[in-house]
Amino acid sequence: MSKPSSFAGDLSGLPTHAFGARSLTWWGVIAYMLIEGTAFALAGASYLFLMSQEQNWPPARLPDLLAGTLFTVVILLSELPNIILKKAAEKEDLAQVRRWLIILDLIGLLLLVIRGFEFQMINVRWNDNAYGSIAWALLLLHTVHILTDWVDSAVLTALMFTPHGKGRRFVDVSEDCLYWRFVWLTWLPIYLLLYWAPRVA
């Protein structure tokens, strides 16, 4: 403490927030995506493992395609507004960010409604047999992601309508868009497993 320190440089000119891999939030989001991605992969592997043990798959009626396919189309299309929102956030364009956040919140709500029908249309209950259990597990696991992301986006939307909606909050919006990409990307293999693996097997 007594000796004066020698300095090699000054940090005061550095920016206080940035997007993507430069921010701490991005690394946190990526790490959680790895965790949840691993859980999805292992749940998918469990499905295949149980399938490999059975002579007849599925040991129940085939799942109806309508709700699941509709869900897939809507969630794929949601990437378009998601791209617009992410770009707006990175340009720190508050008006656009507010508008597209609301639109994505509404899409999330629509997806949750379709998901409700999906649970009806897979034609098996969780307690019928192991096939029903793993099918419900995959669907539930993904629904939890839709739901948590929806709550998260709703909170962010509210936040962007307060005076806090500036600076680092745009980074949060951008990372939320990244996470949404993860949510729909993980859906694609689950869709194939749930609806097409029984048809091919």
Query: Which residues make up the interface to another protein (CB under 8 A)?
Result: 1-2, 4-18, 21-24, 27-28, 31-32, 34-36, 38-39, 42-43, 46, 49-50, 53-54, 59, 126-134, 136-137, 151, 155, 159, 163-164, 166-168
User: Smallest distance from the beta carbon of 101 to another protein, in angstroms?
Assistant: 16
CB-based burial label for 35 (10 Å; 0-12, 13-18, 19+): exposed
Can you read off the two tokens belonging to residue 30?
A: 């990526």
Q: What is the Cα–Cα distance from 4 to 15, expressed in whole angstroms?
A: 27
User: Smallest distance from the beta carbon of 72 to another protein, in angstroms?
Assistant: 24
Q: Which is nearer to another protein, 81 or 171 (CB)?
A: 171
User: Smallest distance from the beta carbon of 195 to another protein, in angstroms?
Assistant: 19
User: Are 51 and 143 spatial neighbours (Cβ–Cβ below 8 Å)?
Assistant: no
User: Smallest distance from the beta carbon of 52 to another protein, in angstroms?
Assistant: 9
Cβ of 156: how many Cβ atoms within 10 Å?
Answer: 20
Q: Which is nearer to another protein, 10 or 200 (CB)?
A: 10
Can you read off the two tokens belonging to residue 186?
A: 């993980």
| Residue burial 164-199, b: 16+ Cβ < 10 Å; e: rest | ebeeebbbbbbbbbbbbebbbebbeebbebbbebbe
Q: Which is nearer to another protein, 131 or 195 (CB)?
A: 131
Q: Report the SS3 class of residue 125.
A: coil
Q: Which is nearer to another protein, 41 or 73 (CB)?
A: 41
Q: Which is nearer to another protein, 31 or 62 (CB)?
A: 31
User: Smallest distance from the beta carbon of 61 to another protein, in angstroms?
Assistant: 15
